[in-house]
């Protein structure tokens, strides 16, 4: 059986991650996708070739996938948004796991204290 960490250690780890949430930048839930599109102009190379590479932000809205065009000059900014969302998602998952672990650690400590009291 895995021995739970002490509640104080778990609480300290959780509080550290909660502090990191205070530094939130703009974010967007989605992912960047490179799509080759055809412009529709006659004589353009895309009519017979691979198409024009274009960046899109893909995300879910109302259960459907939505694709938003991302201009080249905004690409770095949108990458930061997606990266920030992933960071926040990871952090909130860790905070949730630590909060649940804190409950388990506190229960373990209480059981240990009751056992010591019975032996006394």
Backbone angles phi, psi at 22, to 5 degrees: -65, -20
Segment 69-87 mean pLDDT = 95
What is the C-alpha to C-alpha distance for residues 78 and 120, in angstroms, rounded to an integer? 63
**Residue 60 has what DSSP assignment?**
E
pLDDT at 1: 36
pLDDT at 29: 93
Pick the range with the lowest mean pLDDT from 20-34, 67-81, 83-97.
20-34
Q: Name the pTM for this structure.
A: 0.74
Pick the range with the lowest mean pLDDT from 5-19, 65-79, 82-96.
5-19
Q: Which residues have CB under 8 Å from 21's CB, separation 6+?
A: 88, 91, 92, 95
The answer to whether 31 and 112 are in contact (CB under 8 A) is no
Report how many helices (DSSP H) and strands (DSSP E) the chain contains, helices first.
Answer: 2, 3
For residue 4, name the pLDDT band (cuts at 50, 70, 90): low
């Amino acid at each position: 059986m895995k021995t739970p960490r002490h509640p104080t250690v778990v609480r300290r780890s959780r509080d550290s991650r909660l502090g990191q949430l205070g530094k939130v930048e703009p974010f967007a839930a989605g992912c960047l996708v490179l799509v080759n599109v055809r412009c529709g102009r006659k004589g353009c190379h895309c009519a017979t070739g691979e198409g024009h590479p274009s960046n899109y932000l893909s995300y879910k809205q109302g259960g459907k996938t939505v694709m938003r065009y991302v201009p080249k000059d905004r690409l770095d900014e949108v990458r930061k948004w997606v990266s920030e969302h992933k960071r926040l998602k990871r952090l909130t998952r860790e905070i949730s796991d630590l909060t649940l672990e804190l409950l388990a650690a506190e229960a373990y400590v209480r059981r240990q204290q009751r056992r010591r009291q019975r032996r006394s």
